[in-house]
């Protein structure tokens, strides 16, 4: 299999940048009580990357409020770089509430329309952020990231990704499609197609593909990404397995069964973190997918997006490990 994260990149792996939004997270317990944490798809991935030993910066915008202070302090304690996070006077971070069903599936309720990250590409600090992104080794973003911005800001983002790739960076895109974040499906499809063309690695799922394009056929998802020229593809299946592929072949990598699923929040985010960390450590895609399954399998056995550090599974990410 031809690799998207090849040897040319490995020497630049000292810097990863994850772009997106983190919100205050409220989790509803069976007795109706709420617990507070924080979460957001790319933040979850960056945190798990940091726990797996990568040097990662989170790229977002926050307010000057105590809740933003709390998040910055927590991320710093986890080893996430926070120097690329503008703090906007009078702004407040977004908020979401998770309601979890007995089978572990969850519903999300959001309050985020005025979140400061939506101004990320039209701030006085934007040019500094773009320079840092161009100097990164790997840039990670998601479909949720794209939904945060209007067309002009997305164009500026894509221009930055193109410039970064021209300087030797790699781009990994997780489809993570949330319909409520978009005014209509056509706009989302157009933005995703642009993201595919700017990506070296795409982590997709049949669930996202069905919501975005109306079919849950993994072969259709694979064909679409190949047609866009993506070099390395992961398609997560409805069953606990994924396809890993380049532009000519694919193979299936299954996951170990999980006896008790408590909460599926951040399963895909943690999979992405371990998959990319393992690839950057020199593992082939098959071993990286197994690492992704292993971390995601641990995450779904706990409530909320971020599991305790003590619950992280023992993992060897070096070549030949799993």
Give me the active site residues, please: 269
Short-list 292, 234, 293, 306, CA closest to 263: 306
Cα(218)–Cα(148) distance, integer angstroms: 27
Short-list 128, 230, 259, CA closest to 172: 230
DSSP-derived 3-state class of residue 18: strand
Sign (positive or negative) of CA dihedral 95, 99, 104, 107: negative
* H helices present in 16-125, as ranges: 41-51, 66-77
Cα(61)–Cα(269) distance, integer angstroms: 20
Within a 13 Å sphere around the CA of 261, how many CA atoms are in the beta-carbon half?
A: 18
Full DSSP string of 123-165: STTHHHHHHHHHT-SEEEEEHHHHHTS-HHHHHHHHHHHHHHH
């Amino acid at each position: 299999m031809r690799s998207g994260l090849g040897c040319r990149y490995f020497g630049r792996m000292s810097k990863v940048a994850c772009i997106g939004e983190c919100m205050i997270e409220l989790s509803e317990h069976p007795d109706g009580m709420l617990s507070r944490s924080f979460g957001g798809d790319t933040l979850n991935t960056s945190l798990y990357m940091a726990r797996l030993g990568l040097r990662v910066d989170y790229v977002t915008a926050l307010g000057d409020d105590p809740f933003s202070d709390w998040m910055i302090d927590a991320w710093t304690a986890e080893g996430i770089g926070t120097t690329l996070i503008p703090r906007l006077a009078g702004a407040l971070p977004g908020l979401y509430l998770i309601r979890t069903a007995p089978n572990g599936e969850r519903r999300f309720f959001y309050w985020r329309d005025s979140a400061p990250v939506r101004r990320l590409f039209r701030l006085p600090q934007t040019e500094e952020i773009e320079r840092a992104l161009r100097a990164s080794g790997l840039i990670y973003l998601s479909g949720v990231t794209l939904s945060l911005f209007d067309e002009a800001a997305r164009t500026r983002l894509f221009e930055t990704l193109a410039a970064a790739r021209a300087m030797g960076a790699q781009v990994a895109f997780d489809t993570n499609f949330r319909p409520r974040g978009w005014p209509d499906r056509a706009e989302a499809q157009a933005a995703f197609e642009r993201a595919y063309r700017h990506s070296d690695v795409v982590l997709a799922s049949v669930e996202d593909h069905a919501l975005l394009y109306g079919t849950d056929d993994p072969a259709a998802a694979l064909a679409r990404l190949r047609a866009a020229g993506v070099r390395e593809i992961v398609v997560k299946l409805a069953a606990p397995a994924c396809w890993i592929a380049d532009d000519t072949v694919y193979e299936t990598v299954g996951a170990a069964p999980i006896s008790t699923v408590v909460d599926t929040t951040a399963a895909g985010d943690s999979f992405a973190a371990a998959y990319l960390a393992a690839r950057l450590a020199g593992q082939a895609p098959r071993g990286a997918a197994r690492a992704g399954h292993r971390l995601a399998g641990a995450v779904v056995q706990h409530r909320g997006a971020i599991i305790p550090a003590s619950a992280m599974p023992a993992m060897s990410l070096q070549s030949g490990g799993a």
